[in-house]
Amino acid sequence: MRRLTAFFPILLLLAFGALPPAEGLTPSASNAGFTGLWEYPSALMPGDGAGWIGLSRYHPYQPYYLNLGYLPWLEFNVRLTRFLTSDTSKNDPSYAWDDYIDKAIDLKVLLARQRGFLPNLAVGATDISGTRILDAEYVVATYAFERAAFTFGYGTERYDGFFGGFEWEFGDWLTFKAEYSPLDYSRDAAYSSTGIAADLGKEKWNAGFVFRLPYNLDASVSYQRGEEWCWGLSYRFDLSRPLFGGRKPERFEPEAYEVVGWDEADFALIAGKIIGDIQNNLGIRDIHVFFGDRRVLVAYENIGHASQAEAMARALLLTAFHLPWDVEELVVVPRVRGQSLVRLSISGEQCGLLRLQRMNRYDGSGAAVAWTDGDPYGREADESWPLHYGPDGSQKKGRTTAKLMVTADVRIDRPTTKPFFMSRQNLDLVVDHRTSDGWAAHLDIRHPLNNDIDIWWEPYLNDNTRIYKGVVSYTRSFGDGLFAQAEAGWLDELWAGANLWGRKYLGQGDFWVGARASYTHPRDSDKFASLSDSNSFGGNTLHGYYLRYWNPDEWRLSWWAQAGYHENLYDLDLTAEYGRFINEDQGYRLSAMRWWNGIGLGFYYVVTDIKIPGESYTRVGATLDIPVGAFWGTDSAQRWNEDIRINSAWVYDGGRQPGAWQTPEQLWGQLQPERLRGNLYEELERLCDGARGDGDSQPERPVYGLYDYLKRDIYPEMW
């Protein structure tokens, strides 16, 4: 039997060697979720915005993971791993699980992509935060060919030296992977144990198959260490596509249209068709059409799409079909609450490309995008627009809306509850009121339907019907990238009060400076809408004592000086803030928020006077901002927001900012000129390709190394 298992990888390879080759190797998840072989990483990457969520079982571990290509050269993997032999309850009676649950974050950086004799080269680290029980550092190289890849590398700590292996893809549904694995399990100790798997590892090789199934599912089976069969299951996703299937309509050609010359045009008729088509087919209101000397201006407010670029792309396509064939310029102005922020100007030639549905992302260099100077419709002072068609005053469509929605609160708490994944489902009544003079109001009443969340320091996650948010908001555009915003009311489940922002975008919006101030009061966690008579988190005596010590006053003034930079290539927001947080602790907050045209995933790092015992920081976490429509490919401006604490101080409010209904990033961020240009033309390319039936209408995103990015050696047309 020992002889048979020693030749197991070779037998498998011979058995499947006659299968047809794949067009290109598809990276797959390792046991722990990161891109790699079985227990070790490779230098392959999942792809920008691509990844998988899944679980596996390879004794003595059972991880649950989420893996993502956060940047073309940066892979992020987060996981919770059950130590199946740790018998934790004997070491810690307060622990809810019999097995230890370890949280970990893994990072991998692709330094350089493959060129000639030089392989893909990457460095990385596992379990970089928290307990660091499963930590290791490594450097790895991979030669990738059309259907095969060979990997070799060196790792420290539990990776225990040199490792390597290969993977071979057959057809488009099956991959064989084998590796040499010197992994040292004896170091994987939980609590005071001397090692949970010291006797494992009869052989130092692993081999098996990954099966690509329908509905974006991957299943794996492998024989590892010469003694055990292991399995895994994962779901693949791409943040540039609907997450769980579905497909947005991509053909926007009107049923009947006639292209005429400017001199023969009936402008009232054209304006009526533009307004009718956009209003009936898109979630857009308050549409105004202006005509000048062979020039057309269309101003509107998007209320139905989470992506401003998507709303503008669809509006452009519908508008272009009705314009005279010899129009010289089309100006499009998206507005927010009746105020213009930015204007896009394209030539008559680009209008023709839109009618032919031949636009691509690189045509964006021919468009002019700039901040407006404060005119409500984005008109410039030296322009003449003799004809204006639109509603008298503020358009009623979409002014006040009410809807019922099913929502969910999600929590993961590994040591105190079983299971560690908890959720509360709710029925929300959401009422929105919009105006065209800067004002807006929002009310969200949340009624829990089912609740299995039991976390004592979050008492507001109870079964009481409460006002989740109830806010009156005002925003003002002063022109040329200068804005102010204020909101007051029930800001979230924790705090009532007011927020005030001021912001100035420099140039085309890549850099900005600003400030934020908040004046807040804790809310009673058991009441419908009232303020708290004492601290909201006083349910635990010790915890409540420290909160009262740090916050002697119930009303709390917080403030921050802010600055930010937007990296347009990656649609990445980098923000730095310094000031006083809600616990009156002073310090700074650094954050990075990556966007995939509406879907946001970010990370933050906070350092204040209150720190985690034994650490130099206060709070580390992640932020999710996902449009509801991104799940199934529908159109919706509703968003799902979640703040995920990865590690935080023992004072629950340490390093915390109060909630908000709509931050400047959510209200104005997508309309920064250069950001809008890039996202708009990517969306136009997708829509035009889809309308013509070319491929899957989704442009591929490049994968390259950090060195390639710094040297600008990616694709010449990008620079």
Where is average pLDDT lowest: 207-221, 239-253, 322-336? 239-253
Average pLDDT on 164-173 reads: 88
Domain assignments of the chain as residue spans, ordered by start = 2-238, 262-396, 400-434+438-667
* Helix/strand/coil for 375: coil
pLDDT at 513: 96
The Cβ-side half-sphere exposure at 425, using a 13 Å CA radius, reads 4
Q: What is the mean pLDDT of the chain?
A: 83
pLDDT at 718: 41
pLDDT band at 381 (very low <50, low <70, confident <90, very high): confident
Average pLDDT on 307-314 reads: 90
pLDDT at 395: 57
Where is average pLDDT lowest: 101-110, 421-430, 511-520, 689-698? 689-698
Distance CA 306, CA 310 (A): 8
93 Cβ contact list (under 8 Å, min separation 6): none
Average pLDDT on 492-511 reads: 92
pLDDT at 713: 65
pLDDT band at 512 (very low <50, low <70, confident <90, very high): very high
For 8-59, how does the pLDDT look when each residue is reduced to its tens digit (9 = 90+)? 444 444 444 444 433 468 899 999 999 999 999 999 999 888 999 999 998 8
pLDDT at 10: 47
* Helix/strand/coil for 6: helix
Given a cut of 60, whether residue 701 has pLDDT beyond it is no
pLDDT at 588: 96
339 has which bridge partners? Answer: 336
For 631-667, how does the pLDDT look when each residue is reduced to its tens digit (9 = 90+)? 776 667 778 888 888 777 767 778 889 999 989 988 8
For 676-688, how does the pLDDT look when each residue is reduced to its tens digit (9 = 90+)? 998 999 889 888 8
Torsions phi, psi for 183 (to 5 deg): -55, 135
Distance CA 379, CA 367 (A): 17
Q: What is the CATH number of domain 2-238?
A: 2.40.160.40
Given a cut of 50, whether residue 541 has pLDDT beyond it is no
Average pLDDT on 608-612 reads: 87
Distance CA 688, CA 529 (A): 49
pLDDT at 22: 39
pLDDT at 6: 47
pLDDT band at 708 (very low <50, low <70, confident <90, very high): confident
**C-alpha separations of 451 from 426, 462, 464 in Å:** 9, 8, 11
Distance CA 677, CA 679 (A): 6
Render the burial of 407-425: b for 16+ CB within 10 Å, e for the rest.
bebebbbbeebeebebebe
pLDDT at 92: 60
Q: Whose CA is closest to 354, among 307, 378, 322?
A: 322
Render the burial of 569-583: b for 16+ CB within 10 Å, e for the rest.
ebbbbebebebbbbb
The alpha carbon of 216 is separated from its chain's Cα centroid by a whole number of angstroms, namely 19
Given a cut of 80, whether residue 612 has pLDDT beyond it is yes
The H-or-E segment that residue 3 falls in is helix 2-6
Average pLDDT on 238-245 reads: 77
For 385-442, how does the pLDDT look when each residue is reduced to its tens digit (9 = 90+)? 999 998 865 555 668 889 898 888 888 765 555 566 788 999 999 999 988 889 999 9
The H-or-E segment that residue 272 falls in is helix 267-281
**C-alpha separations of 496 from 47, 488, 539, 566 in Å:** 42, 8, 20, 31
258 Cβ contact list (under 8 Å, min separation 6): none
Enter the tokens of residue 123.
Answer: 């460095």
**C-alpha separations of 456 from 130, 171, 452, 462, 565 in Å:** 22, 52, 13, 10, 38
pLDDT at 104: 85
Distance CA 576, CA 590 (A): 5
pLDDT at 719: 36
